[in-house]
C-alpha cells in the first residue's frame, strides 16, 4: 500500500492591496527531520498564500512541485482552501476535503471573513482533526457520495509551479521577496533546488 501523506491545510481570503490572509491552517510535519521542519513550515505558509492568490475565483488548480502536489480550490466569493500532499495522494479526495473544510468554515463564520487582514484570526478547531483523519484517503468515501459543487467549478492543471503564478513571475523571485521565509530558508531552498532535492519527504 502506498504511503500517502497529507501535509498541510489552510483557508485563505483575499486582502486589499496585499497577499491573501491565512485565516486558519494546520500541518503535520512529522515526516521531516527535526532540522527541516522549520524551513518546511515556512514553505507551507508561503504556498498557502501564493497559490490561492494565483487561482481565479470559482476555479480549482493542481500544481506539482518537487514531489508534492498543491491543490487549491477558490470559491466564487474569493474564499479559498489549499492543501499540500505527496504525489501519491488522490486528487479527488484532496478536493473533496477542501470543499468540506470551506463549508465548515462558512457554517462557523458566515461572511465575517470579509475584510479580515490578520493571519490566524479565525481558527477552525476541527482542522487538526481533519488533517489527522484524512491521512487515510478512504475516510473521504462518505463525502464523495454527496459532493456536488466541485463539479461546477473549472478544473485547471498546471505543469509547473511557475505556470500557476501571476504574470509570469518565477517562483525564485517570489521566494526572494517573501516575508514568510527567513533568510536561512531561502538559502536552503536555493541550495536544495540545485541538488534537485528540495522539500522531499524524508
For 88-97, how does the pLDDT look when each residue is reduced to its tens digit (9 = 90+)?
888 888 998 9
Query: Per-residue pLDDT tens for 48-85?
Result: 998 888 888 999 988 887 778 899 999 999 999 999 99
The continuous run of DSSP H or E covering 135 comes out as none
Classify residue 198 as left (phi > 0), alpha (psi -120 to 50) or beta.
beta
CA separation (Å) from 124 to 91, 92, 101, 172, 177? 23, 23, 9, 32, 29
- Collect all residues with Cβ–Cβ distance below 8 Å to 162 and sequence separation of at least 6: 168, 169, 170, 171
Domains of the chain: residue spans and CATH:
6-139+152-194 (3.30.450.50)
At 177, the pLDDT band (50, 70, 90 cuts) reads confident
Nearest CA to 77 out of 114, 116, 32 is that of 114
CA separation (Å) from 65 to 91, 146, 202? 14, 30, 16
Asked if pLDDT for residue 201 goes beyond 60, the answer is no
Asked if pLDDT for residue 197 goes beyond 50, the answer is no
* Cα-to-chain-centroid distance, residue 124: 16
Provide the pLDDT for residue 173. 74
Q: Which three cell numbers stand for residue 158?
A: 498546471
Provide the pLDDT for residue 122. 97
**Secondary structure of residue 78 in the 3-state scheme:** coil
Q: Which three cell numbers stand for residue 22?
A: 491565512
Residue reference for cell 487538526: 128
Amino acid at each position: 500500500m502506498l504511503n500517502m501523506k497529507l501535509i498541510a491545510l489552510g483557508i485563505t481570503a483575499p486582502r486589499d492591496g496585499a497577499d491573501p490572509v491565512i485565516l486558519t491552517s494546520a500541518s503535520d510535519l512529522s515526516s521531516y527531520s527535526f532540522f527541516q521542519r522549520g524551513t518546511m513550515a515556512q514553505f507551507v505558509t508561503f504556498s498557502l498564500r501564493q497559490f490561492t492568490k494565483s487561482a481565479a475565483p470559482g476555479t480549482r488548480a493542481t500544481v506539482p512541485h518537487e514531489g508534492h502536489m498543491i491543490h487549491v480550490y477558490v470559491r466564487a466569493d474569493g474564499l479559498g482552501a489549499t492543501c499540500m500532499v505527496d504525489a501519491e495522494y488522490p486528487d479527488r479526495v484532496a478536493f473533496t476535503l477542501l470543499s468540506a473544510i470551506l463549508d465548515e468554515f462558512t457554517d462557523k463564520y458566515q461572511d465575517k471573513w470579509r475584510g479580515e487582514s490578520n493571519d490566524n484570526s479565525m481558527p477552525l478547531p476541527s482542522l487538526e482533526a481533519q488533517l489527522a483523519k484524512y491521512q487515510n484517503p478512504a475516510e473521504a468515501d462518505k463525502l464523495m457520495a454527496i459532493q456536488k459543487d466541485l463539479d461546477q467549478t473549472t478544473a485547471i492543471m498546471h505543469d509547473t509551479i511557475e505556470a500557476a503564478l501571476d504574470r509570469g513571475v518565477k517562483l525564485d523571485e517570489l521566494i526572494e521577496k517573501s516575508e514568510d521565509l527567513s533568510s536561512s530558508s531561502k538559502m536552503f531552498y536555493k541550495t536544495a533546488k540545485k541538488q534537485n532535492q528540495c522539500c522531499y519527504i524524508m
